[in-house]
Structure 1
Amino acid sequence: MPVSINSKTARDKLAPRREPYWSRIQTGLFIGYRKPEQGQGTWIARRRSDDGKQAYQSLGTFPGYDEAVKAANQWANAIDAGVSSKGMTVKAACEHYVKHLALHKGAASERDAEGRFKRLVYDAKIGKVDLSKLRTSDLTAWLAMQVERDEDDAEDEDDLRRAKDSANRNLASLKAALNLALRDRLVATDAGWKTVSKFRDVGRRRDAFLPAPQRKELVNACPADLQRLVTALLLTGARPGELANANVQHLNREQGTLALQGKTGFRVVTLSSAALSFFADCSKAKIANAPLLATEFGQRWNKDSWKKPFKAAAAAAKLPPTAVMYSLRHTAISEMIAAGMDSFVVARLAGTSTAMIDQHYGHLRHDKTRAKLDAVAMF
């Protein structure tokens, strides 16, 4: 019995099954919809040649029937025009692109693309995928895997931004290779990669600032060991990993400083009176090489040990979903700048550059300066 797949309402009523539900587009050309148990359904095209042989093409996901039909027609028209429909892998398409660059762009462009593909495509799962079977989900998964830290694990604004920016450049190179394959008739359609989008606003300042009431709620929601780590982050603006690496011997009570070792190397930071008192209490009855901050089991903190407890505490404190461990560093730096501290001093304390401070936090200094200017009567 024929079924309709033309509308979302009709497709939602279909029973999940592996065999696609087919609809004829024109003589010899069909569009099929595969309904899964869960998640979004996928589309597939079927074409019968004059000799009676059937050819199939996986089209991936589309928002609607019309878009899927358009992709099926593009595939069928390309086959009629002599485009190769199988036998070319993503790796082979990339190798084809590298040769093209060597001929038309020069050695530098060739080396850059070859390096990216060797690292991320040639030996990867996506490199073995046939172009005719490449799906949007293959590329989105490949893109996501390149970002080493997710929002919960990020210790630094620039860590996450650089990872996503690098992934965007890699995606651009891969898309260029796939588009060349399409232009050279090595694949029938670009449906598998055309709609894959790059990471947006990777240089945009974060908005995960926690005002004082939210900070208090978070601290109160944390278990005792995590509470000490959260407090330390708010008092210093350091990276979580730097505080996790700190030993008791790194605290100098006489000078009121704490030595930190992290991604930007070794530095000694000045502590506020409140921070000095807090760390002095944390170091009581501990040997010199013991962690200054430790879990309830006496172990050194790491991303795996603080991730879930922090998420639970943030949820209990009803913090916004954008709040992550990095938000504490962001909040501390924001408060330092808003209080009028010099960018150079804040950069040294936070272990970053003045350029980064000015880029991401300069608006706070300008707001404070503007408020002072507004208090000056000119007329």
Structure 2
Amino acid sequence: MATKIDTVSSRDKLKPRREPYWHRVYKGCYLGYRKMAADSAGVWQARFSQEDGRKVTKSIGVLDDLPAHERFDKAINISREWFEHVGMGGATKAVTVLDACIDYASMVREKKGDKPADDLMARYRRWVEKDSIHKVELMKLTREHIKAFKRRLTAAPVKINKAGKMRERSKDSVNRDMATVRAALNYAKAEGKVTNDFAWSEGLKAYKNVSKRRELYLDRGQRRSFIEHAPDDLATFLRGLSMLPLRPGALAALKAGDFDARLSVLKIGQDKHGMDRKIKLPEATAVILKASAKNKLPTAPLFSRADGSAWNKDGWKWPIKKAATAATLPAGATAYTLRHSVISDLVHGGLDLLTVAQISGTSVAMIEKHYGHLRGEVAASALAKLAL
């Protein structure tokens, strides 16, 4: 005979015991109420029978934040959501937002390598692990959780110098961080950890029209002056950035063995997207890389500092700023400005966007977004040749 647990009076009459009193919700799906002591508020539990006969359970909790007469209805609603989740193949164990992020980073590490995975984990440690959302179970994640997380992410200031001066985060930066969390949650859904994306599908959408073009462009004369005002080791690094459309980190990661002097081919093995690619170099560029690789072991940095170590962001930041000032370059000139300038020249010179994207290590969509406006002059020049 079934035991009633749907009213406060019926639960008060129950004898304390370890085994829950079960209420049938659907076939194979039960809501349980465990009462361990006469004055206990009782604990709610859901139980689901799988096709192979195994039973899985989920603790719902005491629900003592609600009036006693509302707890059964709340427990029923929670259990039904879980039954639907499990019935559609969802995970039976609780998975938190941070768990989902770590799982996604592990998948990226396996498929794309350490660098992109390490970048993901750095973002997750900074913006998820330290935020209250990290412990929220995916099954309990709501739009309000996501909206609040997005507000905190947007409002978080960032330090801009050693003195601790702070500034507001740009929405473009917020978009990049949100994209990593959105990717993790979408992967969790694809893996059956949660059955729908209702909680984050809207809340983690990117801010629109906040990505700015990199407007600062250095012409060849300015680039030449930049190199001339830098120390010898930095000058070699800047020359590399002025000849190749690479991210500064990708150039710094190159090893002497990545350059095949016989074929004049450079392999880019470590970049933002973690995918290898090869670039056939013109003779002038190959000559400079041959000189840089001369007498170096294959594992040595192709573009090294004076002490033989590899360049990194902390190593080039201030020397580059000093060289830019000495060369009287526009304020804001950085290592990345050279990449932007080189890509601008390639696009303006008429090279098709697919090839530019391939050698730059990015997507055609990104090249189109940031440099597509330069194609207008190329088109105009081509149309001019049609004039009779």
Alpha-carbon distance change, 248 to 168 in structure 1, aligned in 2, over 3 angstroms: closer
User: Which residue of structure 2 lines up, in the alignment, with residue 144 of structure 1?
Assistant: 158
**TM-score with structure 1 length normalisation?**
0.52
Aligned counterparts of 2:148 and 2:210: Cα–Cα separation in 1 = 25
Question: Which aligned runs of 4 or more in structure 1 are off by greater than 6 angstroms?
Answer: none
Alpha-carbon distance change, 113 to 377 in structure 1, aligned in 2, over 3 angstroms: closer
The residue type paired with residue 113 of structure 1 is: K
Shift of 1:374: 2.7
User: Which residue of structure 2 lines up, in the alignment, with residue 264 of structure 1?
Assistant: 273
Aligned counterparts of 1:231 and 1:350: Cα–Cα separation in 2 = 16
The unaligned stretches of length 5 or more in structure 2 are 1-130, 133-139, 161-169, 180-206
The residue type paired with residue 309 of structure 1 is: P
Shift of 1:290: 0.7
1:110 matched to 2:144? The reply is: yes
Q: Is the 8 A contact 1:259 1:269 kept in 2?
A: yes
Aligned counterparts of 1:205 and 1:257: Cα–Cα separation in 2 = 31
Larger RCO of the pair (alpha carbons < 8 Å, separation 6+): 1
Map residues 360-379 of structure 1 onto 2, 5 A cutoff: 360-377=370-387
Shift of 1:112: 1.6
Aligned length: 217
The residue type paired with residue 361 of structure 1 is: Y
Q: Is the 8 A contact 1:236 1:271 kept in 2?
A: no
User: Which residue of structure 1 lines up, in the alignment, with residue 367 of structure 2?
Assistant: 357
Which of 247, 267, 270 in structure 2 is aligned with 1:239? Answer: 247
Shift of 1:363: 1.5
Alpha-carbon distance change, 321 to 355 in structure 1, aligned in 2, over 3 angstroms: same
Shift of 1:321: 0.4
Map residues 126-165 of structure 1 onto 2, 5 A cutoff: 142-144=156-158, 162-165=172-175
Which of 196, 216, 222 in structure 1 is aligned with 2:224? Answer: 216
Aligned counterparts of 2:279 and 2:217: Cα–Cα separation in 1 = 23
Which of 331, 349, 356 in structure 2 is aligned with 1:346? Answer: 356
Aligned counterparts of 1:320 and 1:145: Cα–Cα separation in 2 = 23
**TM-score with structure 2 length normalisation?**
0.50
Shift of 1:111: 3.8
Map residues 259-338 of structure 1 onto 2, 5 A cutoff: 259-260=267-268, 261-265=270-274, 266-338=276-348
Aligned counterparts of 1:161 and 1:269: Cα–Cα separation in 2 = 34
Shift of 1:143: 2.9
- Secondary structure of the structure 2 residue equivalent to 1:259: strand
The residue type paired with residue 346 of structure 1 is: V
Shift of 1:362: 1.2
Percent identity over paired residues: 32
Q: Is the 8 A contact 1:270 1:349 kept in 2?
A: no
Shift of 1:110: 2.8
Shift of 1:116: 5.0
User: Which residue of structure 1 lines up, in the alignment, with residue 263 of structure 2?
Assistant: 255
- Secondary structure of the structure 1 residue equivalent to 2:314: helix
Which entry has the higher C-alpha Rg, 1 or 2?
Answer: 2
The residue type paired with residue 338 of structure 1 is: H
